[in-house]
Amino acid sequence: MNERSGIILVAGATGNQGGAALRHLLANGWKVRALTRNPDSKSALELRNLGAELIRGDFDDRASLKQALDGIYGVFMPSIQVNLAVTPEIEVRYGKAIVEASKDAGVRHFVYSSENGATHPDGFGYLQSKQQIENRIRELGIPATILRHAFFLDLFEGPMPSLMWSSLSKSLGQNRSIQVIALDDVGAFAALVFNDPKRFIGQEIEIAGDEVSPNQISQTYRHVKGTDLKPTWIPYWLLTRMGEFGKFIQHLSVQESLADIASLRALYPDLKNLEDGLRAAKPMSAPSAPGKSK
């Protein structure tokens, strides 16, 4: 593919969504600058080997963000997986720092990967933080596209399948459905909207690759992995009291199916369904606490 004009800065490039976006952007011919707190880390050096330019930056250091944004056309910013190390307040501080620095730098296309439910967070802190970041993007009038992703299928890879299975099955029951998406497809949609700014600047798009019940997930997981999903030993009442993760679990029961999957697949024919997403899933890394390099 021909090289595209301009450089895309990918924030959180060594993380889950940032890494997916970076790979798809490179595959689509974009020059990519990877923002990382530690350019010497193994994960950062792997990105350099793919063809990305590495630059050191920290959202608590506005001078480093200004330097990272010098000469940048577009920015991809992923939402943060809120956990014990990263609170909603930290996510808001991180997000607003990047958004405001991008406004100052005159970025021409800002793509933010938010989350399903961010428009109506209903007291859930991990969604309220994303709503605040979305609001700041609108307040500043940045040319932007907001993508709101569904439940990550990659949460069924690595050490978490039993935990997520218990959470989903208890929250939804066996037959209620939930929209899901493969992490890789978040990166694919990021590249897709950067490729066509006239079409997508100003758009807010719910993205998902399939809508399935816990029972369908269980059956497909057995087919793909050759093993059963088993409930965790942790009781549901305790899961729902595990800080922001517990709130995430509680929200599953009221999460709306907002994505028009048929239209998304027409837009991106390689969009993965449940089976394809489980086959492509890779273990997700947890975000590190501010000031700690991965």
Please give the pLDDT value at position 139. Answer: 98
Of 15, 23, 53, 70, nearest in space to 188 by CA: 23
Please give the pLDDT value at position 83. Answer: 64
User: pLDDT per residue over 195-244, tens digit each?
Assistant: 999 999 999 999 999 999 999 999 999 999 999 998 888 888 888 888 88
User: pLDDT per residue over 62-85, tens digit each?
Assistant: 999 999 999 999 999 999 876 656
The rounded distance, in Å, linking the Cα atoms of 24 and 114 is 18
Whole-number mean pLDDT of the chain? 91
Question: Which of these ranges, 33-37, 84-88, 160-164, 245-249, has the smallest mean pLDDT?
Answer: 84-88
Mean pLDDT of 159-164: 84
Q: Does pLDDT of 175 surpass 90?
A: no
C-beta pairs of 156-164 under 8 Å, 24+ apart in sequence: 156/217, 156/221, 156/229, 156/278, 156/281, 157/278, 157/281, 157/282, 157/283, 157/284, 158/282, 158/283, 158/284, 159/283, 160/284, 161/221, 161/229, 162/229, 162/230, 162/231, 162/232, 163/232, 163/234, 163/239
Please give the pLDDT value at position 286. Answer: 60
In the chain, the percentage of residues whose pLDDT exceeds 70 is 95
| Model confidence band, residue 131 (pLDDT cutoffs 50, 70, 90) | very high
Mean pLDDT of 38-59: 93
| Model confidence band, residue 254 (pLDDT cutoffs 50, 70, 90) | confident
Please give the pLDDT value at position 3. Answer: 61
Mean pLDDT of 235-256: 84
Domains of the chain: 7-280 (3.40.50.720)
Q: Does pLDDT of 118 surpass 50?
A: yes
Mean pLDDT of 140-169: 91
Q: Does pLDDT of 294 surpass 70?
A: no
